[in-house]
Amino acid sequence: MIEGVKQQKWWGWGEEGLAYRYEDKPKFPGFVQKMVGVDITRPVKPIPPFSSLDVPASELSDELRAKFVDAIGEKYVQTDDETRVVHAYGKGVRDLIRIRKGDLGRVPDVVLYPGTQEEVEAIVDASVEADAVLIPFGGGSNIVAALEAQPGETRQVISVNLGRMSKVLEIDETSGLAHIQAGVFGPDMEDQLNARGWTMGHHPDSFVWSTLGGWIATRSSGMQSDKYGDIADIVRGLTMVMPGQVLQLRPLPSSSSGPSVREMVLGSEGRLGVITSAWVNVHRIPEVRELQAYFFPTYEDGLKACEQIVSSDASVMMARVSDPIETQYIMANGKKSGRVSSLANKAIQKIMLQKGWDLEKIAMSFIGFEGSANHVRYEKGLVGKIVKDNGGMGVGKGPGTLYDQKKYDTPYIRDFMLDRGLICDVSETTTPWKYAAEIHAKIVDRFAKAMDDLGVRGVVFCHLSHSYHSGACQYFTFAIADDSDNQEATYDAAKRVIQQSFMDFHGTVSHHHGVGEEHSPWMDQDISPAGVFIQRKLFEGVDPGRNLNPGKII
């Protein structure tokens, strides 16, 4: 490991020593038992030690090593087994299944840690000259197989970790723009910006373990995108090192300079070059930040409310509504409440029953407000009325504050579940508002049928996570009880059903996780064969030797 560059554990999410705990959540074991018939309190098999893995030796040639050492210094040319294995995969559940059983794929031959743009240029040029494969690496958090070398790749595989390039270089306070190096992780970047009174406002669930370069390369979206925009809106200019040349895009609020090259880089997943820095929109830290919780009698009522909120004068920071199963999951995943909140919960339930709501169908919602105290008061008034018009009710900021504190711990639950034979992952899509309720219902139906066909128990639930003028992103989480050697095939079958349903019911292949190799088979259906043709020509033109992360996207 390189000092100052954090690295996730090889077998799961985040850092060693941090894990999900069910012991302080009395309702959670019962919820899992009811949904998928698994007892999560039973003892589990320990993770095998790293030494049990059979890691293929590095095939880095002496000649190329010498060039890298010359360019960035010996210390930053790493070939040890653990570093190479951590850089072999992302963090999709399929990656976790494979790595836990010692299926390591084509492990990179070397991991490089450049500290400057000039060093990146030297690495790219040397790699292409040697006809090696070069894969840029941010936090390694993607879940779409966007990082792994292709199976059987016979050329040398070079992973380039941008972690040493992590500085906020400049803030243009007049324009509200910041120039930031691409390898910075979310918390470090926000600390640097916050220290000067600014924020970028991009907070994906993976914030702690993902980087600015990774967000750009996957077209990421954060939970506050309703106010701050997706990364595609936030990034205004950038620098990207390509074979033999450097792309420089100045930060501009908008431009009419032909097809947008900025947009071509967004979502390029390392196929066009290595992004070394970007100019991004930044904002003054808001005076007030509040997350309010609401309940709706049904998910469909919640969807309607979100649709109306986005077209109202309330420019909320976030509007999220969970379907009934996810609502039950959130409630079961809460810590044991004290006497006062337990009484409050009972009082809320009583009101719901008096209103004639079916508690199995209710939908929980979090809506976020930011700005001056006056602005937040105004927005809350507008939202409160829309919620009421759609049959909902507010329950205050208590649950929202809890959600805000715990939001980055959630990813650890996937490792915990996999330890117990439960395959859990997510898939997300956007549709126009017109199809939002339909696609949700169809996916729930099709997933249930797929579970029957596979002969396993599984559950899928969903929340609306990002709203736009014309539609929204819905984010599906699934859990499947399968402790067999067949986990990968089970996962693939479930994922196929969900992705194909996205295509069949007016969705896109992905809203913010990108394509990688995972979603590649649906690209024809998503952007049409002509769209794939244009992308193919772009990648072939920039990278005729297929040296830059080949096989991703298309």
Binding site for ligand FAD (CB under 6 A): 90-91, 135-143, 146-147, 162, 182, 204-206, 210-211, 213-215, 217-218, 220-221, 269-270, 274-275, 411, 512-514, 549, 552
CB of 13 to ligand FAD, least distance (A): 6
Catalytic residue numbers?
475
The SS3 call for residue 190 is helix
What is the distance of C-alpha 298 from the center of its chain?
A: 27
By beta carbon distance, the residue nearest ligand FAD is 214
Q: Which is nearer to ligand FAD, 97 or 344 (CB)?
A: 97
Mark residue 116 as left, alpha or beta (left: phi above 0; alpha: psi -120 to 50; beta: remaining).
Answer: beta
Cβ–Cβ < 8 Å for 7, 1:
yes
CB of 539 to ligand FAD, least distance (A): 13
Would you state the structure tokens that stand for residue 55, as one six-digit string? 């890691």
CB of 238 to ligand FAD, least distance (A): 9
Element containing residue 85 per DSSP (H, E): helix 81-86
Long-range CB contacts (within 8 A, 24+) of 408-413? 408/205, 408/207, 408/208, 409/20, 410/205, 411/13, 411/14, 411/91, 411/205, 411/206, 411/209, 412/12, 412/13, 412/14, 412/18, 412/19, 412/20, 413/20
Going by C-alpha positions, the residue among 144, 281, 117, 127 that lies closest to residue 217 is: 144
CB of 188 to ligand FAD, least distance (A): 12
Query: How many residues are listed for the chain in this entry?
Result: 554
Cβ–Cβ < 8 Å for 22, 40:
yes
Q: Which is nearer to ligand FAD, 91 or 519 (CB)?
A: 91
- Cα–Cα separations (whole angstroms), residue 31 to 41, 295, 328: 12, 20, 8
Q: Which is nearer to ligand FAD, 387 or 473 (CB)?
A: 473
Going by C-alpha positions, the residue among 426, 427, 429 that lies closest to residue 503 is: 429
- According to DSSP, residue 91 is labeled S
CB of 338 to ligand FAD, least distance (A): 30
Would you state the structure tokens that stand for residue 103, as one six-digit string? 């299926």
Q: Which is nearer to ligand FAD, 181 or 327 (CB)?
A: 181
Q: Which is nearer to ligand FAD, 290 or 428 (CB)?
A: 428
Element containing residue 478 per DSSP (H, E): strand 471-481
Would you state the structure tokens that stand for residue 308, as one six-digit string? 């109306």
Cβ–Cβ < 8 Å for 144, 519:
yes
Q: DSSP string spanning 127-155?
A: HHHTT-EEEEESSS--SSS-SPBPTT--S
CB of 215 to ligand FAD, least distance (A): 4
Going by C-alpha positions, the residue among 327, 309, 324, 306 that lies closest to residue 472 is: 306
CB of 9 to ligand FAD, least distance (A): 13
Element containing residue 315 per DSSP (H, E): none
Q: Which is nearer to ligand FAD, 378 or 404 (CB)?
A: 404
Q: Which is nearer to ligand FAD, 386 or 509 (CB)?
A: 509
Q: Count of CB atoms within 10 A of residue 484's CB?
A: 10
Q: Which is nearer to ligand FAD, 145 or 293 (CB)?
A: 145
CB of 185 to ligand FAD, least distance (A): 8
